[in-house]
Structure 1
Amino acid sequence: MFRPLSIFVGLRYTAAKRGNHFISFISLVSMLGLMLGVAALIVVLSVMNGFDRELRQRILGMVPHATLAGYADQGLDDWSVLREQVLAQSGVAGAAPYVQAQGMLTSRGRVQGVLVNGIDPVLEPGVSIIAQHMQAGELNDLVAGEYGIVLGELLARFLGVEVGDKVTLVLPEASISVAGVIPRLKRFDVIGIFSVGAELDANLAYIHMTDAARIKRMPAERVDGLRLKFDDLFTAPQQAQQIARSQSRPLYVNDWTRTHGNLFQAIQMEKRMIGLLLLLIVFVAAFNIVSTLVMVVTDKRSDIAILRTMGATPSTILRIFMVQGIVIGLIGTALGVVLGVTLALTVTDLVAWIERMLGIEFLSADVYFISYLPSQLIWSDVGMITLAAFAISFVATLYPAWRASRTQPAEALRYE
């Protein structure tokens, strides 16, 4: 005889064509519900991971992972020496100087607040992705003394300027003359436009760091600080603090968790909440497994009684019906994983095809920072979803199987 007996009988009950079609239908529904729940979890979490990746690459590609600056706006005169020391540290991917100023850009009667970054166009690509997202012009067109400026695409559109036009930078400092208080103004030539598809396109501009030092009335060789890029952005706060402590002078440290950390925390919170909500679908499917096995136990009372009279122990009966529930859970989970992984890998192309077929745009570039539905499949998420779904379906088999093991043969066969 096939051993062990519980697996043999449990598989026979699962594969057999039962006369009660309603039980078969409920079993199929519970399996499909488990499959859809698992697939939905994988797809939605993959899309959330895709949005997280796009935000990380686009926003944190422009925003420094960390910065080192002098205290009390003293700046750094020997920034090149400090840069070499920083690059010698493990985990540091790049370092570049910057001079930062806040002001307003005006053109054709329009005014927009802006954060102006004075950069070295040669070193900046080591800490920023701006060079890869230039829509017009080149970053290397920034030349010291020529007062060129690179604008974000939304900022240029608002001001109504293109490459070759002029804009006026107004700094929040005033000069006192015989004519009264005169704000500090400087004309710049627009030599480039960039677009990263994020809010930074509307309030960020780049000029050469020498020009930035001049308009801030700083020595030409002085900078505000160094922008740092790390191999692992999540270690940036700790590594930046360690680098600052290793220096003989005090340095002010800032990192991305202070400037944009709340945005990524919100995404992680949404991912967890959506995951928990979609997990309810798996719980509903598990309740269906419970109802299926309860009806099977009721339907097979006479078979259970015969097995008991032939020497089957309560633990054997328990395992028989646990096998049946586990098989339903395994099949539903496996089909859900296959469907979910397939959709997660193709959802970007699938949504794009639907947009072309229907002539609509789900994510407008004018509203959202990306115009397509991103997806990133993380296998650890797939593993956790699979384990959770199987664990829930396993727990769902315990009560019906225990109820079957408590069946008394004499009582079950009394009216047969």
Structure 2
Amino acid sequence: MFRPLALFIGLRYTRAERSNRFISFISLISIIGLTLGVAVLITVLSVMNGFDREIKSRILGMIPQATVTSTQIIPDWEPLANQIKQDPEVSEVAPFIQLQGMLTSNGQVSGIMVSGVVPEYEQKVSIIGEHMVEGSLDKLQAGDFGIVLGVDLADLMGVDVGDKITLVLPEASPSPAGIIPRFKRFTLVGTYDISKEVNSLMAYIPMHDAAKLLRLPDGAQGIRMKVDNIFAAPKVSKAATQVAPERLYPTDWTQTHGNLFSAIQMEKAMIGLLLFLIVIVAAFNIVSSLVMMVTDKKSDVAILKTFGATPKLIMNVFVVQGMIIGVIGTVLGTIIGVTFALSISSVLGYINDAFNLHLFDVYPVNYLPSYVKVSDVLIIVSASFLLSFLMTIYPARRAAKIQPAQTLRYE
């Protein structure tokens, strides 16, 4: 059966019993180093991709991606919302009134960002409807003064669905007893669970009740938009202001949470670069093992040259040997890395629950997310193969320059 001579000899050298066991040991170390480097790189980048995806879907699913707000209440917000939705980049719109205050109940006090919403619209631009634990957003009926809180905040305040909770606004109201804060008792009609960051900071009430609480006419303070491409949000919000440029002001998620996503991207790039150094170190071991192999096989190379082997053939023999190390290490690393990346969420989740370790209490999500990107795996595999090939060039050229007469003189 026909086989290329360089491949045949290279495979034979790889399988043959070597007189110098140290060369075999260095080759084994090269394979192990390359395997670990590729596996760790795939796993860590998958975890970083998981965090990036979860934060985009959870936090950006709750906070406004793009908004236009007015300094005055907008009573005719529906025609305005319909005009804004005509933009092909905008998938859904919803009116809102934003206010800040403090919640108090059972002796507990907590600052809160409150959104006055229309449930049927809000559920189109937000993921809150998918993450309700008790009750539903539809129970926010105008005039009932109902409120929806995150589960963490509800636990902190010691309230359950159906209990009363007081919202205190920073605006002061004059009274016979003097200036007192404005407050209103609400009924808890539902709880949601998105992430620890969101659960403790955001609450929802009916938009009509929010306007009434602020002593404003019935209407909307602004229009929230859900966009198909989150990175187009700044352009979309600016374009929306052209509907009524004299009274609308744009904002988008890059102004409120842009630093968070920039930090994640920077961290992913730096961690990827540092871990890639492991692959580079393992690849340098290929150089060491091949240089020693060339020294060990000098006489074999000289004999091959006397039989007519060309320098190109000799180079290919040692390139094949180096690439065998690279292929074995990269393939094993890819299999281990992808397998571990796909299972790390469930494995660490089981360990966390079994030993009650609270590993994820400081993170925005309550588990370790992992998302294997095929593009990342292909880049890592390609880079590892290319690096392995480059590391074979010097030892292979050195072998090709061996002079048969000088080498066999004392054999």
Instruction: Verify same fold: TM over 0.5.
Output: yes
* d(CA) in 2 for partners of 1:81, 1:351: 50
Give yes or no for the alignment of 1:124 onto 2:126: no
3-state SS of 1:50 partner? helix
3-state SS of 2:220 partner? coil
Aligned match of 1:309: 306
- Would you say the 8 A contact 1:117–1:206 is kept in 2? yes
* d(CA) in 2 for partners of 1:365, 1:307: 62
Code of the aligned partner of 2:61: G
Matches of residues 8-407 of structure 1 in structure 2 within 5 Å?
Answer: 8-70=8-70, 73-220=71-218, 222-245=219-242, 247=244, 249-355=246-352, 359-364=354-359, 366-407=361-402
- Would you say the 8 A contact 2:84–2:243 is kept in 1? no
* d(CA) in 2 for partners of 1:124, 1:236: 18
From the superposition, tell whether residues 248 and 103 of structure 1 become closer, same or farther in structure 2 (CA, over 3 Å).
Answer: closer
Deviation of the 1:255 alpha carbon:
0.8
Deviation of the 1:325 alpha carbon:
0.8
Q: TM-score, normalised by structure 2?
A: 0.94
* d(CA) in 2 for partners of 1:114, 1:299: 73
- Would you say the 8 A contact 2:345–2:368 is kept in 1? yes
Deviation of the 1:288 alpha carbon:
1.2
From the superposition, tell whether residues 345 and 412 of structure 1 become closer, same or farther in structure 2 (CA, over 3 Å).
Answer: same
From the superposition, tell whether residues 180 and 352 of structure 1 become closer, same or farther in structure 2 (CA, over 3 Å).
Answer: closer
- Would you say the 8 A contact 1:176–1:182 is kept in 2? yes
Deviation of the 1:46 alpha carbon:
0.8
* d(CA) in 2 for partners of 1:364, 1:39: 23
- Would you say the 8 A contact 1:69–1:76 is kept in 2? no
* d(CA) in 1 for partners of 2:338, 2:160: 44
- Would you say the 8 A contact 2:73–2:216 is kept in 1? no
- Would you say the 8 A contact 1:301–1:407 is kept in 2? yes
3-state SS of 1:224 partner? strand
Deviation of the 1:415 alpha carbon:
2.1
Q: Deviations over 1:299-337 (max 9, x none)?
A: 010111112222333333222211211221122111211
Deviation of the 1:4 alpha carbon:
4.5
3-state SS of 1:272 partner? helix
* d(CA) in 1 for partners of 2:224, 2:125: 7
Code of the aligned partner of 1:100: Q
| Bigger mean CA offset, 158-167 vs 387-396 | 158-167
From the superposition, tell whether residues 100 and 144 of structure 1 become closer, same or farther in structure 2 (CA, over 3 Å).
Answer: same
Code of the aligned partner of 1:34: L
State, as a whole percentage, how many aligned pairs show the same letter: 55
- Would you say the 8 A contact 2:360–2:368 is kept in 1? no
* d(CA) in 2 for partners of 1:280, 1:61: 36
* d(CA) in 1 for partners of 2:366, 2:213: 38
* d(CA) in 2 for partners of 1:245, 1:82: 11
- Would you say the 8 A contact 2:7–2:320 is kept in 1? yes
* d(CA) in 2 for partners of 1:209, 1:157: 25
| Bigger mean CA offset, 135-144 vs 74-83 | 74-83
Code of the aligned partner of 2:102: M
Deviation of the 1:151 alpha carbon:
1.4
2:404 to 371, 394, 409: 409
- Would you say the 8 A contact 1:165–1:190 is kept in 2? yes
Q: Deviations over 1:99-132 (max 9, x none)?
A: 0111111223322111110000111110111112
Structure 1 runs, 4 residues or longer, greater than 3 Å off: 1-5, 245-250, 352-356, 361-369
- Would you say the 8 A contact 2:66–2:236 is kept in 1? no
Code of the aligned partner of 1:376: Y
Deviation of the 1:390 alpha carbon:
1.1
* d(CA) in 1 for partners of 2:83, 2:370: 39
From the superposition, tell whether residues 174 and 350 of structure 1 become closer, same or farther in structure 2 (CA, over 3 Å).
Answer: closer
Deviation of the 1:2 alpha carbon:
5.4
| Unmatched tracts of structure 2, length 5 or more | none
Code of the aligned partner of 2:379: M
* d(CA) in 1 for partners of 2:247, 2:286: 64
* d(CA) in 2 for partners of 1:310, 1:193: 83
From the superposition, tell whether residues 316 and 264 of structure 1 become closer, same or farther in structure 2 (CA, over 3 Å).
Answer: same
- Would you say the 8 A contact 1:363–1:370 is kept in 2? no
* d(CA) in 1 for partners of 2:13, 2:19: 12
* d(CA) in 1 for partners of 2:371, 2:228: 20
| Unmatched tracts of structure 1, length 5 or more | none
Q: Deviations over 1:281-306 (max 9, x none)?
A: 11121121111101100001011111
Code of the aligned partner of 2:405: A
* d(CA) in 1 for partners of 2:35, 2:212: 64
| Bigger mean CA offset, 180-189 vs 2-11 | 2-11
| Bigger mean CA offset, 3-12 vs 98-107 | 3-12
- Would you say the 8 A contact 1:39–1:336 is kept in 2? yes
Q: TM-score, normalised by structure 1?
A: 0.93
Code of the aligned partner of 1:30: S
From the superposition, tell whether residues 294 and 361 of structure 1 become closer, same or farther in structure 2 (CA, over 3 Å).
Answer: farther
Q: Deviations over 1:163-206 (max 9, x none)?
A: 22222222111123443212212111122222212312112111
- Would you say the 8 A contact 1:66–1:253 is kept in 2? yes
